[in-house]
């Protein structure tokens, strides 16, 4: 089986060695940003980026390309209390989330220890309203009050969730990359009103990478089928219990973020650094426009706000800000210490 990575950079399973240090880190996060443990980087790189197997501290990742070796965060003052908007760059699973307050500053202003993976919030696009979610492991589906107060945690038994999306009614959809007998890889678990044990929905995907709702309450997800034989986009129509495959009018090379942008359903292609804008009718997605990003290496997850796209760049090892829908070169690069950026989300108090 070809074990291509979840993101442009990787796509395999990572040996989990950070958890023992997470407790101590969490105790320190209330007062300051704390450096994660300086554990050795255990990544194994194998072949070209498509088809690569990456092992990083025992966890699967959703990038398509290879990033530089991680650099661990230094202690920085936690000075975000007076900000109104925040951006979160989620690093390697079980490491930390870097906090920013762009456009006030491009500098890291704090962190949440123990986080990693992907994020979502309670709007289809734009700045979330007072909360956001981080999905980074079986027992790490965590809701936070902005800027970083944990509210509650959900879980998926015996599976590795890696993505999330919320609809306008507050339901939380969590995608499963690596599954088990009870919840298979490629499944999506929907938590009604973001609570309870969730309902499992099978999809045609073998591995689910990213998901997102449109403005009609339809849920879309992308990933690979047939043991990495090809990209696929699938939809759970509102009110249905069955996912269907959506045929795109263009080819998508490597799964990227799926998000409504206010007009179109968008799918990011990690291989080409392009965001495709679609209209969807029945089981066909028709390409209306392509937004090209230059200067990025691998936007593992993107998040659209009005006029901008935030990128957690697993290839360049940073966070980037682009104009949207203009695309082009970054209008800003978020600066800090990063450990394999995999996700990004934006929220406000």
Which CATH number belongs to the domain containing residue 228 in this structure?
A: 2.120.10.30
9 is a domain residue: no
Q: Mind giving me the DSSP string for 286-348?
A: EEEEEEEB-S-S-EEEEEEETTEEEEEETTTTEEEEEETTTEEEEEEEEBS--SS--EEEEEE
7 is a domain residue: no
Please state the length of the chain. 349
- Label residue 239 by pLDDT band (50, 70, 90): very high
Strand partners, 76: 33
Nearest alpha carbon to residue 311 among 57, 8, 31: 8
Structure tokens that stand for 31 in this block: 């007062």
- Say whether pTM exceeds 0.75: yes
User: Which carries the bigger pLDDT value, residue 267 or residue 11?
Assistant: 267
Tell me the mean pLDDT in the region 101-130: 96
Alpha carbon 266 to its chain's center: 14
29 is a domain residue: no
11 is a domain residue: no
**Residue 143 pLDDT exceeds 50:** yes
278 is a domain residue: yes
Give the pLDDT score at 65. 61
156 is a domain residue: yes
The two beta strands, 160-166 and 128-129, are unpaired
22 is a domain residue: no
Q: pLDDT of 160-218, one tens digit each?
A: 898 999 999 999 999 998 887 788 989 999 999 999 999 999 999 999 999 999 999 99
Give the pLDDT score at 67. 53
Exposed, middle or buried, 31 (CB in 10 Å: 0-12/13-18/19+)? exposed
Segment holding 27, helix H or strand E: helix 19-28
Containing domain of residue 242, as a range? 68-348
320 is a domain residue: yes
What percent of the chain is modeled with pLDDT above 90?
68
Residue indicated by tokens 């800090």 = 336
Long-range Cβ contact pairs of 227-236 (< 8 A, separation 24 or more) = 227/1, 227/2, 228/1, 228/2, 228/3, 228/4, 228/51, 231/255, 232/204, 232/205, 233/258, 233/267, 233/285, 234/203, 234/204, 234/205, 235/280, 235/283, 236/188, 236/201, 236/203
The domain total for the chain is 1
Give the pLDDT score at 21. 34
Structure tokens that stand for 109 in this block: 């202003």
Give the pLDDT score at 61. 65
**Residue 310 pLDDT exceeds 70:** yes
């Amino acid at each position: 089986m070809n074990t291509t990575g979840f993101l442009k950079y990787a796509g395999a399973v990572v040996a989990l060695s950070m958890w023992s240090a997470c407790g101590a880190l969490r105790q320190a996060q209330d007062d300051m940003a704390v450096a994660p443990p300086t554990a050795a980087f255990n990544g194994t790189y194998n072949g070209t980026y498509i088809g690569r197997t990456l092992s990083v501290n025992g966890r699967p990742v959703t990038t398509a390309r290879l990033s530089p070796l991680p650099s661990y965060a230094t202690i920085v003052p936690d000075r975000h209390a007076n900000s109104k908007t925040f951006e979160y760059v989620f690093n390697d699973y079980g490491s930390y989330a870097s906090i920013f307050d762009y456009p006030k500053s491009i500098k890291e202003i704090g962190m949440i220890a123990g986080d990693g993976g992907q994020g979502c919030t309670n709007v289809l696009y734009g700045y979330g309203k007072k909360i956001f979610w981080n999905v980074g492991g079986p027992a790490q589906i965590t809701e936070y009050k902005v800027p970083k107060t944990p509210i509650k945690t959900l879980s998926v038994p015996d599976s590795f969730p890696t993505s999330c999306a919320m609809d306008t009614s507050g339901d939380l959809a969590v995608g499963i990359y690596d599954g088990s007998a009870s919840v298979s890889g490629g499944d999506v678990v929907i938590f009604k009103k973001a609570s309870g044990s969730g309902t499992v929905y099978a999809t045609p995907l073998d591995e689910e990478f990213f998901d997102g709702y449109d403005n009609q309450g339809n849920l879309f997800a992308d990933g690979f089928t047939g043991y990495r034989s090809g990209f696929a986009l699938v939809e759970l129509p509102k009110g249905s219990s069955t996912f269907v495959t959506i045929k795109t009018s263009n080819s998508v090379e490597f799964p990227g973020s799926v998000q409504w942008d206010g007009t179109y359903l968008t799918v990011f292609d990690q291989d080409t650094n392009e965001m495709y804008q679609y209209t969807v009718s029945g089981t066909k997605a028709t390409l209306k426009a392509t937004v090209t990003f230059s200067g990025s290496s691998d936007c593992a997850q993107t998040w659209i706000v009005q006029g901008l796209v935030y990128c957690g760049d697993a290839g360049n090892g940073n966070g980037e800000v682009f104009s949207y829908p203009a695309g082009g070169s970054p209008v800003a690069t978020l600066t800090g210490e990063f450990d394999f950026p995999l996700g990004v989300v934006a929220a406000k108090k």
